[in-house]
Amino acid sequence: MQPPYLKVNEIFYSIQGEGPHTGMPAVFVRLAGCSMGCDFCDTRYAFAQGTEMSLQDIVARMESYPCRNVVLTGGEPTEQDFPPLASLLKKRGWTVHMESNGAHEADVSAIDFLVISPKKYVCQEMLTKAHAIKIVVGQKSDLEDLKKYFHYAGTHTTVCLQPESNLQENIDLCVDLIKQNPFLRHSLQTHKMANIK
């Protein structure tokens, strides 16, 4: 029987640049493919480009780095069969984070920290499983529509506003919204500011 394979765009070691774990060192496993196709996506290169890798080869690459935090990202990881990789990593002692648009319901039982960044459409079940909801805010955002995510903020879920492309006018918009709704948090893309991957 052939081992499971995933289409991987890239594996690299860096620090988390956004969201509640900003500054955390992590190995990033970027899975290829995303059917959402958002025009503001900053990882469009991962939509199609990727190499088929076995779970064992993925983990071997990861274990060459001095870290036991992993971020499964994309593309969109839920468009592939990621749960066997997440389970294997848990068994090997990794803390598993995942970034998803939440459009597809998925088994996230092996995920320690799930970030959902809703785009055109999102699965309600995934929102209820999220540890953080990260909302991209730009000048074209329907601010009234975004407020439907605010009620998820609570003991187990952080709701972050992330200014699209780190543009100052979007930062100002996020800051104003957060000051009006103090249960929200701000999420800058610090890795872009620091010019790191």
Between CA 187 and CA 136 the distance in angstroms is: 9
H helix count then E strand count, the chain: 6, 9
| Banded pLDDT at 48 (limits 50, 70, 90) | confident
Q: How confident is the model at residue 4 (pLDDT cuts 50, 70, 90)?
A: confident
Asked if residues 17 and 134 have their Cβ atoms less than 8 Å apart, the reply is: no
pLDDT for the residue numbered 146: 93
Range of weakest confidence among 42-46, 85-89, 97-101, 140-144: 42-46
Are the CB atoms for 37 and 103 separated by under 8 Å?
no
pLDDT in tens, 6-45: 999 999 999 999 999 999 999 999 999 999 988 888 888 8
Residue 154 has pLDDT above 60, yes or no: yes
- Supply 131's token pair: 């540890």
What is the mean predicted confidence (pLDDT) over 179-187? Answer: 97
Sketch the domain layout of the chain as residue ranges.
5-193
Total residue count of the chain as it appears in this document: 197
pTM reported for the whole predicted model: 0.95
Gyration radius of the chain's alpha carbons: 16
The per-residue DSSP string of 62-104 comes to HTTSS--EEEEESS-GGGS--HHHHHHHHHTT-EEEEEE---S
In this predicted structure, what is the pLDDT of residue 2? 54
User: Which pLDDT score, from 0 to 100, does residue 108 have?
Assistant: 98
What's the CATH number of domain 5-193, 3.30.160.270, 3.20.20.70, 3.40.50.720, 2.60.40.10?
3.20.20.70
